[in-house]
Structure 1
Amino acid sequence: MQRVYQRVLDHGYLGRERAAAELGMEEQEAAEAIARLRGLGLLRGSPAAPDRLIAVSPETAVAARVGRQEIELRERELQLAELRSTIEAYGSVYQRDLRRRAQSAGVEVLDGLSLIGSVLDEEADRCRTEVLTLQPGGPRIARALTDARARDTAILARGARMLTLYQHSARFNQMNRDYVKMVTGLGAEVRTLNTLPPRLIVFDRKVAFLPDRDDTSMAVVIRNSSVASYLAQSFDHFWAEAVPFAEVGRSTREMDASADIDSQIVRMLVSGDKDEMIAKQVALSLRTCRRRIAVIMERLDARSRFQAGYETRRREAAAEAGR
């Protein structure tokens, strides 16, 4: 194509036969090149002699072909922007209605830790009979425990029942132990399980707080008594399976909890779970979890994770048979 364009720039010619002859091309090839060049706007017919081809500068061809499309594209973009703006103008109306319907259904989304804390304090102040708390994860941070002390002390002072569930790993942190000793001294009950579902707080079986699925700075408040009661019954199920929190020393219950953690770790090792997943499930730091895995492997004299699982099952079966 460039040879044809160059030939027209130099001399101009008539038709594909002459182009083919002068450039040593097949007539079909010359015809296709001319057609493409004309389609690009780089060749045009002469007004005086339509069959004679005249070369057009690329700048002119761009202005004629691309420029027109650019104008059409800009016009289309403006139309799309206007359409988007018109539609999005109804977004605030929709969101207001969505919030209204959510509130009428007893569901409210709280955005921001300060707002969550404020609403939580309000509901705690209204609580008169019972507060249930699922607290998964390992040791709680100092600030959270400080906030909880004031709130829980006020609830317990009113004579309300307080039941709290932690994971077993919370037993081995001194701040958690101090907090548990304080609230149980005021009448609260605290138990632990190996694993727990996401966090849950239920006041008087009428109002429940749930975490947002993806954003830790958001929470959901449920004021529908039927839903809150259902969540409270779910809590009751976990509570029945849990064991009381040991306050001091390495009690038999603490040793049992430690064994439960090891059993869970072995089960997940055999299933092929990564160390990060295991640590999250049993609420241990990754470093502590890996150290515990190493101790388990050494205790079982296992050279592989599969062997650790096999040896654990063998020992459990032998112990069961000896009873």
Structure 2
Amino acid sequence: MSTNRTKGAHPHPITELCKEGSRLYTTALRAGRVSRADTEAAPCLLELALLHPDPDDPTWLRPVPPAVALAQRLHPIEREITEHRRLSVQLADAFEPFMALGMQTTTTSDSITVLEGGERINAALNLATAQCQTELLTVQPSDRVSERSLLRSLERDKPLIERGVKVRSLYQHTARYNPEKLSYVARLSDGKVEYRTIDELVERLIICDETVAFIPARDDHQVALELRHPGLVRYLVKVFEYLWDRAVPMSAGTPYGAATDGITEIQHSIAKLLVEGHVDEAIARRLGMNVRTCRAHIAKLASALGSGSRAQLGYLIAQSGILEQEH
């Protein structure tokens, strides 16, 4: 092997030796020395100062006692730890005058934090879920969620499930026809999580341990509110439970089957929103589907009721009594 091998050509962490380095260091400790030529295959021994030249014969190398070598490696680490401790004390001293004031002036604004930007929102969510010990509740409207977002949710949920945290998530019925969501559910549906769907959800909601909640504050989801006010969080938990009791377990199969009147569950939901005066785009957004799919359902609803126009459809829906039926 070439003897002009440059330093750094045999890299590895300072906390371990390569197999050849371990063997040669063991040999040197037992025999008291090792040939310099033999160490060419493991230059890390010299880089980590585990061997030093024999003062009587430089063609040989003698081992540095393990206790001495360990102390040499630990010294810079301990020095760094000491420096961090010193900085921690300085920070504590700097904030100490304000701590008493902060305890005396607890207001509603202290319980509401505005999070701007996706990075800060995700950092706050990651911290809250990492501290979650009992239960995570989530509301996830719309099926138009990218695979990347679903994988990020999976990565966030998995450690929770592994440490025994209960997870309950609400989606819209349209999630049942989203392959990405179904794959996501299948990867976690081992009894430790519950998924249900409902026809209509308004906005996203995440609640950890009934102590902290996150809601969007802008339509583009680039601003969110972190809520820690007990009254607000308690109210949002009640909203979640209200929706949860009316939702259908994901394992129960599709809720879109046609009723005896030939109108499906989703078409009943569309009919209700049509009568309330919502336009196609608003209906699609609230039910978590694209506008084309929404209009296709409206066309089927019109056909089932024998409507020839949009104006007549609203009248026929009101006259048919379908909105008074239980679905």
**TM bucket by the smaller chain?**
0.5 to 0.7
Amino acid at match of 2:229: N
Q: How do residues 296-311 of structure 1 correspond to structure 2 at under 5 angstroms? A: 296-311=301-316
Shift of residue 184, structure 1, vs aligned partner: 2.1
Which of 233, 243, 250 is the aligned partner of 2:248? 243
CA gap 1:217/1:252 in 2 versus in 1, 3 angstroms: closer
Q: Over aligned residues, Cα RMSD in angstroms?
A: 2.9
Structure 1: give runs of 5+ residues left out of the alignment: 1-96
CA gap 1:287/1:109 in 2 versus in 1, 3 angstroms: same
Tell me the SS of whatever aligns to 2:115: strand
Question: Which residue matches 1:188?
Answer: 193
Amino acid at match of 1:262: Q
The answer (yes or no) to whether the contact 2:256–2:265 under 8 Å persists in 1 is: no
Say whether residues 1:294 and 2:304 are aligned partners. Answer: no
Shift of residue 241, structure 1, vs aligned partner: 1.1
The answer (yes or no) to whether the contact 2:213–2:226 under 8 Å persists in 1 is: yes
The answer (yes or no) to whether the contact 1:133–1:165 under 8 Å persists in 2 is: yes
CA gap 1:246/1:139 in 2 versus in 1, 3 angstroms: farther
Question: Which residue matches 2:176?
Answer: 171
Structure 2: give runs of 5+ residues left out of the alignment: 1-101
Q: Deviations over 1:104-159 (max 9, x none)?
A: 62111111101111111111110010000111122321111010111111111111
Shift of residue 164, structure 1, vs aligned partner: 0.6
Say whether residues 1:158 and 2:163 are aligned partners. Answer: yes
Which of 115, 118, 124 is the aligned partner of 1:119? 124
Shift of residue 255, structure 1, vs aligned partner: 2.5
CA gap 1:101/1:286 in 2 versus in 1, 3 angstroms: farther
Amino acid at match of 1:125: A
Tell me the SS of whatever aligns to 1:139: coil
Question: Which residue matches 2:236?
Answer: 231
The answer (yes or no) to whether the contact 1:129–1:160 under 8 Å persists in 2 is: yes
CA gap 1:272/1:235 in 2 versus in 1, 3 angstroms: closer
Amino acid at match of 2:255: R
Q: Deviations over 1:51-109 (max 9, x none)?
A: xxxxxxxxxxxxxxxxxxxxxxxxxxxxxxxxxxxxxxxxxxxxxx9xx9778621111
Question: Which residue matches 2:144?
Answer: 139
Cα distance in 2 for partners of 1:103, 1:307 equals 50
TM-score by length of 1: 0.61
Question: Which residue matches 1:129?
Answer: 134
Question: Which residue matches 1:255?
Answer: 257
Shift of residue 217, structure 1, vs aligned partner: 0.7
Shift of residue 279, structure 1, vs aligned partner: 1.2
Question: Which residue matches 1:268?
Answer: 273
Shift of residue 310, structure 1, vs aligned partner: 4.9
Higher relative helix content? 1
Q: Deviations over 1:147-195 (max 9, x none)?
A: 0111111111111111111111111111111112222225210111111
Tell me the SS of whatever aligns to 2:169: strand
Q: How do residues 59-138 of structure 1 correspond to structure 2 at under 5 angstroms? A: 105-138=110-143
CA gap 1:225/1:255 in 2 versus in 1, 3 angstroms: same
Q: Deviations over 1:207-256 (max 9, x none)?
A: 10010135521111012233222211221111111111147xxx353427
CA gap 1:254/1:177 in 2 versus in 1, 3 angstroms: farther
TM-score by length of 2: 0.60
Amino acid at match of 1:255: G
Tell me the SS of whatever aligns to 2:308: coil
The answer (yes or no) to whether the contact 1:171–1:254 under 8 Å persists in 2 is: no
Question: Runs ≥4 in structure 1, deviation > 4 angstroms?
Answer: 100-104, 309-317
Which of 143, 151, 154 is the aligned partner of 1:149? 154
Question: Which residue matches 2:44?
Answer: none
Tell me the SS of whatever aligns to 2:257: helix
Shift of residue 273, structure 1, vs aligned partner: 2.6
